[in-house]
């Protein structure tokens, strides 16, 4: 028997190596630079540690930090490093879970001491010490029963609980010196691989997300292979903090959320309500242009409606408990679709009347755990720019194309130019319909994306319970992705509600149904807008487009005349006649991020002019009142 095996590389070339050689050694034969950068490797579809020996021919790809999988491995290894440091400093600490997340890692820890920012600095110092010790990170596999003994003897109650729920006969742990953790891996080979890291914050987190369980302390952190990358990321975080919509929401007086009214329920202040109205007004006008009719539906519905739709079977955990009305159970609506179907069923339809495009800015309510609520981005009550299209099968491709084009148009009008498109397929659990129907629907959505010439990724299992969908994520100015738009194919509800139309053959046929939201939740979309623009909204969206300031009381009448003239022109002026210095009022308008500041003094009154300063500019220009109005109107027309 030969002691040589063949390793196929990503470029298709093959490498002959000896059986039993480690992945690390094989990568070294490919390239010493690649060996230095490698964190782990993929053998076929399985990711393994660099120390893993190879006993049979396979494909091999080195996993580096610039790959998504590489970042996850690096950050997960950093969470173990942090836990190791915590254990050295706080020997009684008990560990729950410490995963890699989208941007870094965290670990949930049960400990007597309440951690402070000073403690984070101490933990960082210990992490640096352990990294410098260059400790080997070693995988061990052992019987689950033995692992339970080890963690029980160490007092690691959370690990024991997880182990007791596993069904695997053999589990793996990772050791680095005197620290070990229950983990599937893989991990970096040595602690010295972890070069630059920063612990960012401390938060409370219930064990397993349940308020019934103990509150643990969650430490968040980030790590990179070099200091430059870390510093760049920390600068990004500072900029993100400056743009945080919750802070700007307070400073710009847009919205508030109060415990007294309920977590996740938004109260819109006048300026925030104005912004929301502007978006909704634009939305309505564009929908009329694109052949939609608007409908309106109530906030609650009988349980029978949600039973027929399948929501009580497949979406119940996100719905609020039923209320009794006249002896009948009712639910607050989590979605608008069953109501739109009721409108469809109110009469019979001919094939000549299809497609029907019905849209609604409908407020819905969905349960979210308190721990995940986040300003406007994750709420319990929100307005969804919902629409449902009922069409014949032969009309469906064109309708999907129309929706996709409309969606991209709307997003671009709000200033978003960079998109990432995902084609979400059937979830492995909790879904309805035959596989053949799902496959046909996926093909239809995929064909539409391809006709639009848009690059996309497949999101396996990411579809709704009633059908596949296209999800469009927008990238903001900081290159962060936000989920807003979705186009969903539905062959479930037409069946459940027995929807029909009379076709040209005089017989009843089943219509196709498309769900779509272009902006998604308006609350979430506005939160994204605030952060994208940093509160400096384009003129057409700014709740206040211009602040008019008088130099002295003598100009008060002129200021009011200009305000009324602008209001008549459909503009949104504000006046500031407070008993403060002009400089103070100008600085205040800049702080409120108002696009234009117009100052009127004696000279301006005499000449019929205003002294105008645009946000972001350091000098003022004198112009006629008509010129200022024309300038603002031009910005509005061109969505600036």
The residues that are catalytic are 337, 366, 384, 386, 388, 469, 515
DSSP state for residue 105 in the 8-state scheme: E
- 452 exposure class (CB count in 10 Å sphere: 0-12, 13-18, 19+): middle
- Return the biggest CA–CA distance within the chain: 103
Q: Distance between CA 157 and CA 94 in Å, rounded? A: 7
Q: Distance between CA 64 and CA 30 in Å, rounded? A: 14
Q: Distance between CA 199 and CA 389 in Å, rounded? A: 48
Name the 3-class secondary structure at 25: helix
Q: In this structure, what token pair is assigned to residue 394?
A: 């032969």
Q: Distance between CA 316 and CA 173 in Å, rounded? A: 37
- Residue 485's nearest CA partner among 382, 374, 410, 396 is 410
Q: Distance between CA 160 and CA 149 in Å, rounded? A: 8
- Residue 364's nearest CA partner among 346, 349, 379, 342 is 379
Strands 512-521 and 381-391: antiparallel
Do 301 and 308 meet the contact criterion of CB atoms below 8 Å apart? no
Q: How many CB atoms lie within 10 A of CB 612?
A: 20
Secondary-structure percent of the chain, ordered helix, strand, coil, rounded to 5: 40, 30, 30
Q: Distance between CA 343 and CA 356 in Å, rounded? A: 11
Q: Distance between CA 375 and CA 334 in Å, rounded? A: 19
Q: How far is CA 294 from CA 40, 54, 285, 406, in A?
A: 54, 63, 11, 16
Helix axes 396-413, 435-451, angle to 10 degrees: 50
Strands 596-600 and 573-576: unpaired
Bridge partners of residue 267, in order along the sequence: 256
* Torsional sign, CA 356, 357, 363, 364: positive
Bridge partners of residue 259, in order along the sequence: none
Q: In this structure, what token pair is assigned to residue 284?
A: 């309505």
Name the 3-class secondary structure at 448: helix
Exposed e or buried b per residue across 546-585, where buried means at least 16 C-beta atoms within 10 angstroms of its C-beta:
bbbbbbeeebeebbeebbeebeeeebbbbbbeeeeeeeeb
Bridge partners of residue 474, in order along the sequence: 419, 482
């Amino acid at each position: 028997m030969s002691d040589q095996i063949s390793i196929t590389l990503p470029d298709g070339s093959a490498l002959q190596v000896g059986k039993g050689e480690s992945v690390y050694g094989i990568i070294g034969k490919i390239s010493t630079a690649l060996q230095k950068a490698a964190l782990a490797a993929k053998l076929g579809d399985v990711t393994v540690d660099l120390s893993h020996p190879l006993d049979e021919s396979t494909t091999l790809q080195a996993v580096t930090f610039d790959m998504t999988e590489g970042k996850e491995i690096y950050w997960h290894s950093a969470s173990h490093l942090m836990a190791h440091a915590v254990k050295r400093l706080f020997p009684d600490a008990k560990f729950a879970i410490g995963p890699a997340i989208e941007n870094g890692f965290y670990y949930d820890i049960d400990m007597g001491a309440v951690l402070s920012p000073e403690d984070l600095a101490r933990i960082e110092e210990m992490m640096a010490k352990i990294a410098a010790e260059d400790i080997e990170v070693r995988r061990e596999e052992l019987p689950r029963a033995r692992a339970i003994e080890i963690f029980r003897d160490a007092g690691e109650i959370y690990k024991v609980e997880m182990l007791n729920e596993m069904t695997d006969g053999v589990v793996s742990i990772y050791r680095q010196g005197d620290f070990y953790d229950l983990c599937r891996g893989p991990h970096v080979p040595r602690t010295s691989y972890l070069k630059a890291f920063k612990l960012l914050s401390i938060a409370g987190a219930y064990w397993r997300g349940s308020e019934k369980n103990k509150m643990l302390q969650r430490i968040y952190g980030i790590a990179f292979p070099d200091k430059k990358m870390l510093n760049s990321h920390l600068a990004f975080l500072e900029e993100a903090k400056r743009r945080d919509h919750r802070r700007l929401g307070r400073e710009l007086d847009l919205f508030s959320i109060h415990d007294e009214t309920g977590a996740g329920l938004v109260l819109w202040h006048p300026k925030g309500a104005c912004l929301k109205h502007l978006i909704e007004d634009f939305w309505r006008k564009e929908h009329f242009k694109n052949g939609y009719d608007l409908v309106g539906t109530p906030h609650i519905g009988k349980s029978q409606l949600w039973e027929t739709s399948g929501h009580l079977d497949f979406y119940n955990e996100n719905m609020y408990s039923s209320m009794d009305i006249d002896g009948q159970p009712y639910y607050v609506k989590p979605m608008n679709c069953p109501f739109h179907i009721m409108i469809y069923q109110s009469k019979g339809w001919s094939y000549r009347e299809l497609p029907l495009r019905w849209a609604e800015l409908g407020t819905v309510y969905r349960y979210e755990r308190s721990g995940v609520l986040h300003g406007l981005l994750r709420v319990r009550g929100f307005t969804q720019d919902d629409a449902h299209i009922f069409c014949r099968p032969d009309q469906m491709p064109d309708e999907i194309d129309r929706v996709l084009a409309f969606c991209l148009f709307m997003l671009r009008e709000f200033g978003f130019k960079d998109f990432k498109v995902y084609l979400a397929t059937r979830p492995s659990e909790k879904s309805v319909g035959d596989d053949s129907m799902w496959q046909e629907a996926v093909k239809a959505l995929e064909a539409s994306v391809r006709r639009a010439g848009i690059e996309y990724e497949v999101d396996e299992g990411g579809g709704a319970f009633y059908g596949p969908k296209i999800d469009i994520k927008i990238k903001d100015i900081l290159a962060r992705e936000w989920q807003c738009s979705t186009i969903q194919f539905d062959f479930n509800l037409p069946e459940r509600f027995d929807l029909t139309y009379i076709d040209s053959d005089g017989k009843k046929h089943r219509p196709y149904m498309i769900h779509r939201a272009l902006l998604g939740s308006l609350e979430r979309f506005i939160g994204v807008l605030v952060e994208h623009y940093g509160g400096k909204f384009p003129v057409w969206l700014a709740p206040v487009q211009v602040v008019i300031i008088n130099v002295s009381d003598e100009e008060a009448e002129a200021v009011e005349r200009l305000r009324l003239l602008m209001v008549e022109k459909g503009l949104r002026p504000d006046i500031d006649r407070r008993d403060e210095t002009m400089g103070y009022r100008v600085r205040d308008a800049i702080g409120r991020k108002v696009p234009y500041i117009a100052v009127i003094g004696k000279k301006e009154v005499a000449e019929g002019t205003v002294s105008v300063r645009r946000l972001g500019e350091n000098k003022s220009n004198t112009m006629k009142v008509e010129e200022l109005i024309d300038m603002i109107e031009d910005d509005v027309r061109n969505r600036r």
